[in-house]
Structure 1
Amino acid sequence: MKVMIIGIDGLDNELLIKFEKELPNFRKLREESPYTKLTSVFPPDSPTAWTSIYTGKTPAEHGIVYFKDPFSESRYGDYMSKDISGKTFWDVAGKKGKKTCVLFPHLGYPVWPVNGIMIGRTTEVDIKKFDIQTWPKEISTKYDLSGLKPMTSYPVNIGDIIDPTKEVILNEVELAVQICQDFNWDIYFFYSSSLDNIQHLFWMYNDKEDPFYVEGNPYEDVILDFYKFYDENVIGRFLELIDSDTVLIILSDHGHAMRPVKVVNINEILRKKGFLRTEGGKRSIKNSFIDKTKKSLLSIIDQHRSIGKMASTFLRIFPKGLSIYTKMTPINKESIAYLSDPSGGIKAYSYAGIKINKEIIDDSSYETQRDKIIKILLSIKDPENDDDLVEWAKRREELYNGKYINKYPDVVFKLKDGWGVGTEINEKIFSWSRSHKLHSGNHRGETPVLIVYNKKIKFDLKKNLELMDIYPLIFSFLEME
């Protein structure tokens, strides 16, 4: 058997069900695919998730995972610089003689030698200037590689991104189809990132539950339109190429949902419980001013996309900018514990962690402190109905094990749907996100997509799978150990 894998970043299983009447190709494949509930990794960020798909390893095993510590020197996008070459499913298959064709994989730049073809490109997060590379090099002279630059995440005029994004997708598919037909491959992987960006930007125009949704707005059907576009121009095109000796896998790294608007300020809870201290004296006055300035700046960026675009560009040119922003904090370094989240407090996520300061507590009290923090988190109640606000909280070792487990905060947790993690201190415990309009769509770990299709065989898969299970699944279809 040959294996063709179509990876669509952010493709959401619940939206496929919601839109299925208008998605004939997806509907056909879902009907003929075994039902499997796929779950993403924690956190369900694209670099972390795709690396788990590529390698079959948990984030604690492969190390591409990020939680911002306000006292660290972490830089914008630097956790994606870890080299995964030689460790992916296409590398392993290639070393065993399988011909591979890999197009635009996330984290696939710079390219590396493979047993076949690889085309990699930079992304907005990890570049100052767009670039595209091929292996072998002569591929770049044989095919037209123009028009393949992914669109920016922060367009000034949001509607201006729609048609250019579709053009990029069409260019990707046209090149992918040519190479698929020209090259004799055993394993073929095509990745598209555009849908994820569209859902981030247009979610509040589509979701009637979003407080900023306006009925009849001009972008109300943009997300549906892109699902239809992928159905016809991506899935439809590749369906025409496969035969009965090919297994088609369509998958995503995570699903999508509304980014939380309501937030619970975890650092304020930690302060009130005696785990977090703020700076005193002159530093307190200075940090209070800085903190208020940060809040005002974030609110301004949220309201004015042109300023958001400037901020995004600044971070790409000056990667230390995010570190400087997050380090401007009123938290005293002598605090026992404080919040650690994926964005440094810029965007509201439903998941985060608590970092324990091991420099000021002895080893004998470490587990006791973790127990206390978990108990505090699990005791937080929804102010509207008194329900539990935290879906789960646990030690990081209860989540995963691996050589990079220390990249996770000491305690990790997830809030229930509709709530996000806030970072404000000396403010109300429950408040509202200051940056919802920046990216109103949010990654959802519970609803990625897995479709497995063959014209002759209907496979029997486990009812519940994780992203790490994709790796051995691919090799089983290739009839390889």
Structure 2
Amino acid sequence: MGISGIDLDLVDGSLQGEETESVAGRNVKVLVIGLDGATLDIIRPLAEAGRLPTFRRFMEEGTWGVLQSTVPPVTPPAWASFMTGKNPGKHGVFDMICVGADKEVLWPNATWVQGKTLWDLIGERGMRVGVIDIPMTFPPTPVNGYMVAGMFTPSQESEFTYPATLQTDLLKEIGSYPMERELVGSFAAGDILGGLRSVCDHTEKRKQAALYLLRKYDVDFFAVVFRGPDVIQHYGFRYTDEEYRRERPHETAMYHKMIDQYYEVLDGVVAELLDAVGDGTTAVIMSDHGAGPVKRCFHVNKWLHNEGFLALKPWPSVATLRLHVRWAAIRAALDKLGLAAVGRALPARLGDVRLPFPRLRRDRTQIVNWSRTRAFANVVSSPIKITINTPSLGKRGKQVGREERERLRREIIEGLRSLRDPATGEPVISQVWVPEDIYTGPLAHKAPDITFLTTDHKFRCQVLPYARALITEPDEERLGMHRMEGVLMMRGPAIRSGFELAEAQIVDLAPTVLHLLEMEIPSDMDGAVLTGALREEYAARHPERWSVAKEEPAGEADTAREVFSQEERRRIKRDLGELGYLG
């Protein structure tokens, strides 16, 4: 039978137990609403001003506070920690990219995440799950219920649901199901208004999908993620920058409220989802990290080059350079001249104009002289990590012994801590870690040698070493970037009312959800049950139960593999670059 049948065998990839629209959503025990990149810096003042009534009610009737992200606060490791309750040393996800067994670069996908997820554990207990749009779930995996894969799904032509028959059912019900390309494409082309439309359409389609599935199929646990906050903030925080506002007054006048306005849209979305579940449901609103504006840029590999850690090939051997006329730059120039209307009238495809100049090789790794390089910041992905160049990195490896490696780590860390912004005199780097400080587990050896965060997260780190200075003003896009401080709000029969939670980590959510479902918690989870959020009478009646989990030997848990075609990898790289993730 088709997807709407009753009592179908999950071995055949079908859903079971369809409920009527008036019943199914009311049986959800735990509802998780993920708002990618959401921050209390925006939610709290808007809620207090009465502009976010749903969030305000949630804070008054439940428990809320800051949710600390992973180190670093990057999408793949953060969501992997949410779904496993473990640190990256156990689940194996450290960044936007990873290197496979044969040294090739792999882009984010579900095979990176090692060990059992929250929905695996819930399903093993015979409870049913619904999972929609959570990053790091493509390709979708079998669950006791259904899954719609999230960020990094290549296209609507990809198989992005489990069971597979759910895909056409979903498309029949809500029409199109836009992916990441549709979410960021207009913004990247400089079409801000088009970008806003795309984000709102993306949000609306996710809401429609969530409500349709909530009302149709009976599940115990339901989770849905909205990517909109992250994208809006990447492109919208520029309008909080005074210099940007002065330089582009017409553009700023139109768009400076777009982040606040989008949160008002989200407030309505959350209200509809809460209406679809019963009073007995425990609802959780959370984000994987926070966000904020960028004030300055720190060119990490230029610093490493200046300090003698990184060697470059002579400029002539770098070979080619191409000038790409950016649509955002065209609009900015016209705005300065008081011709913003002209910029809005020009076709967006002007952003694709390319002039035939010599071209810098696209593979950034080719500008590095690896035989003479001792350390480098990732030349492909987020450059807030530094790696010592060793033989384990393949042909690039330089023979660096253990003692020299430790000496290099100490020398680099001391240099980072002493670095000052010449414009203000303040430290550029606020925190620096080596892997053993923050990661434990069988995959901790995959971590980079040094991870750091900049002061107040206001420096965007960039990787190309040919910068005019170590510290510069942001580029014309002034993309917002991530912060450690995400959002957590909880409300339900077991949750305290009007209580601000002092400390919560993203790894705490998995054990807390399992506890709310009255399940045993595996002992290898790094998170803790958020007992401070629970009513005393509930906590007294429901003591925590932890089960002994089998520890995996070091090096035997890594199953990360490539799942994308060459064209899909190219699209993912482009999308991540346009959001500012690739330095």
Return closer, same or farther for 1:34/1:81 CA change in 2, 3 Å cut-off. Answer: closer
Partner Cα separation in structure 1 for residue 114 and residue 409 of structure 2: 36
Q: Deviation at 1:142?
A: 4.5
Partner residue in 1 for 2:459: 419
Q: Secondary structure at the match of 2:178?
A: coil
AA at the equivalent of 2:38: L
Return closer, same or farther for 1:435/1:402 CA change in 2, 3 Å cut-off. Answer: farther
Partner Cα separation in structure 2 for residue 258 and residue 241 of structure 1: 35
**CA offsets 1:16-55 (integer angstroms, 9 cap, x no match):** 0132221010111122222433111122221221111011
Return closer, same or farther for 1:367/1:185 CA change in 2, 3 Å cut-off. Answer: same
Gapped runs of 5+ residues in structure 2? 1-27, 332-347, 354-359, 391-397, 521-583
Partner Cα separation in structure 1 for residue 292 and residue 95 of structure 2: 21
Q: Deviation at 1:443?
A: 1.5
Return closer, same or farther for 1:323/1:207 CA change in 2, 3 Å cut-off. Answer: same
Q: Deviation at 1:135?
A: 2.8
Partner Cα separation in structure 1 for residue 131 and residue 361 of structure 2: 34
Return closer, same or farther for 1:423/1:331 CA change in 2, 3 Å cut-off. Answer: farther
Partner Cα separation in structure 1 for residue 415 and residue 114 of structure 2: 42
Q: Secondary structure at the match of 1:10?
A: coil
**CA offsets 1:220-278 (integer angstroms, 9 cap, x no match):** 2111111000101x111022123332100011111111134x22333333333332333
1:325 maps onto 2:363 in alignment: yes
AA at the equivalent of 2:316: I
Partner Cα separation in structure 2 for residue 85 and residue 426 of structure 1: 37
Return closer, same or farther for 1:85/1:191 CA change in 2, 3 Å cut-off. Answer: farther
Partner Cα separation in structure 1 for residue 297 and residue 212 of structure 2: 48
- Find 1:217's aligned residue among 222, 229, 253: 253
Return closer, same or farther for 1:330/1:185 CA change in 2, 3 Å cut-off. Answer: closer
- Find 2:146's aligned residue among 111, 117, 142: 117
Partner Cα separation in structure 2 for residue 372 and residue 159 of structure 1: 48
Partner Cα separation in structure 1 for residue 66 and residue 90 of structure 2: 23
> In the TM superposition, what are the counterparts of 1:71-86 in structure 2 within 5 Å?
74-75=104-105, 78-80=107-109, 82-84=111-113
- Find 2:83's aligned residue among 42, 49, 54: 54
Return closer, same or farther for 1:230/1:334 CA change in 2, 3 Å cut-off. Answer: same
- Find 2:329's aligned residue among 265, 278, 303: 303
1:46/1:253 contact within 8 Å kept: yes
Q: Matched residue pairs, number? A: 450
AA at the equivalent of 1:450: L
Q: Secondary structure at the match of 1:449?
A: strand
- Find 1:440's aligned residue among 474, 479, 487: 479
AA at the equivalent of 1:108: T
1:368 maps onto 2:394 in alignment: no
1:3 maps onto 2:30 in alignment: yes
1:67/1:409 contact within 8 Å kept: no
Partner Cα separation in structure 1 for residue 444 and residue 260 of structure 2: 38
Q: Secondary structure at the match of 1:414?
A: strand
Partner residue in 2 for 1:230: 266
1:252/1:450 contact within 8 Å kept: yes
- Find 2:183's aligned residue among 135, 142, 152: 152
Q: Deviation at 1:464?
A: 1.0
Q: Secondary structure at the match of 2:184?
A: coil
> In the TM superposition, what are the counterparts of 1:345-364 in structure 2 within 5 Å?
352-358=384-390, 359-364=398-403
- Find 2:55's aligned residue among 26, 44, 64: 26
Q: Deviation at 1:161?
A: 2.5
- Find 1:185's aligned residue among 219, 222, 229: 219
1:66/1:407 contact within 8 Å kept: no
Return closer, same or farther for 1:127/1:453 CA change in 2, 3 Å cut-off. Answer: same
Partner residue in 2 for 1:93: 122
Q: Deviation at 1:81?
A: 5.3
AA at the equivalent of 2:123: G
Q: Deviation at 1:185?
A: 1.6
1:469 maps onto 2:505 in alignment: no
> In the TM superposition, what are the counterparts of 1:182-331 in structure 2 within 5 Å?
182-208=216-242, 214=249, 216-232=252-268, 234-260=269-295, 262-279=296-313, 283-287=314-318, 290=320, 293=321, 297=324, 300=326, 303=329, 324-331=362-369
Higher relative contact order (CA 8 A, sep 6+): 1
Return closer, same or farther for 1:431/1:379 CA change in 2, 3 Å cut-off. Answer: closer
2:183/2:202 contact within 8 Å kept: no
Q: Secondary structure at the match of 1:473?
A: helix
Q: Deviation at 1:396?
A: 2.2
Return closer, same or farther for 1:444/1:308 CA change in 2, 3 Å cut-off. Answer: farther
Gapped runs of 5+ residues in structure 1? 312-321
**CA offsets 1:274-303 (integer angstroms, 9 cap, x no match):** 323333xxx44323x65xx37x55x85762
**CA offsets 1:64-103 (integer angstroms, 9 cap, x no match):** 2237799x9654x624352549721111101111111112
Q: Secondary structure at the match of 1:19?
A: helix
Return closer, same or farther for 1:6/1:85 CA change in 2, 3 Å cut-off. Answer: farther
Return closer, same or farther for 1:457/1:252 CA change in 2, 3 Å cut-off. Answer: closer
Partner residue in 1 for 2:519: 480
2:184/2:195 contact within 8 Å kept: no
Return closer, same or farther for 1:269/1:254 CA change in 2, 3 Å cut-off. Answer: same
Partner Cα separation in structure 2 for residue 386 and residue 457 of structure 1: 46
Q: Normalised by the size of structure 2, how large is the TM-score?
A: 0.69
